[in-house]
Amino acid sequence: MKKFLKISSNVLVILFLAVALTSAVSLIVEAIRGNQPSVFGYKLHYILTDSMEPDIKAGDMILSKTINKVSEVEKLKEGDIVTFLGHHGIQNGKLITHQIILTDAQEGKVIFENEEGKKFIRTKGTNPKATVDEPVPIEHIRAVTVRKMPVLGSLYTFFTSVFGLLILASVVLLSLAVVLFLKFTKPPQAKQPKKKKP
């Protein structure tokens, strides 16, 4: 029974490490490809420009909650920072992170409609030099910012460099090797002699 438990625990450790390694590699690959890996409905976005300074700096990382439904968009309010898919000019096809703003014509409502009944929100970077974006169709909104993570941004910059990826891969492989070595090189425990019954 003890031998079975030992083998089972070894198999579980190997499986756990394999899943952890696969997940880490998958997240790194997705990040390098420009995609935002999602975990339990949350994503990390890397800020590339200074359009949100001084609130969010270029090189910062933000944690965002994914938006999948119109009902989630309707809960947004003025001042929320959202990530959306740009659809106009130099923003076209790019993920943009800007703050929701209101105009007097919106009468306090975040979502407004054009003459054709299509729904939009208005956004703008917080940088004083930033201009108001073209109205954003609500179906283009991808996420709402939960918190800023500048330290993680610095780590992301390092680990997505060639040198950083080599360091990360080396650490993961070395950890795996050490765990396996310790698991399979434990000295066998000496069996204690059975006490003779008087």
Q: Please state the pTM of the whole predicted model.
A: 0.62
Neighbours of 153 (CB within 10 A): 21
**Which residue, chain included where needed, has tokens 């959202």?**
82
CA quadruple 169, 172, 178, 183: dihedral sign: negative
The answer to whether 83 and 64 are in contact (CB under 8 A) is yes
Tens digits of per-residue pLDDT, 122-137?
Answer: 999 999 999 999 999 9
pLDDT value at residue 186: 66
Residue spans of the domains in the chain: they are 2-33+156-183, 38-154
- Superfamily of domain covering 38-154: Umud Fragment, subunit A (2.10.109.10)
d(CA 10, CA 183): 7
pLDDT value at residue 198: 56
Tens digits of per-residue pLDDT, 69-113?
Answer: 888 888 899 999 999 998 888 888 888 999 999 877 777 788 888
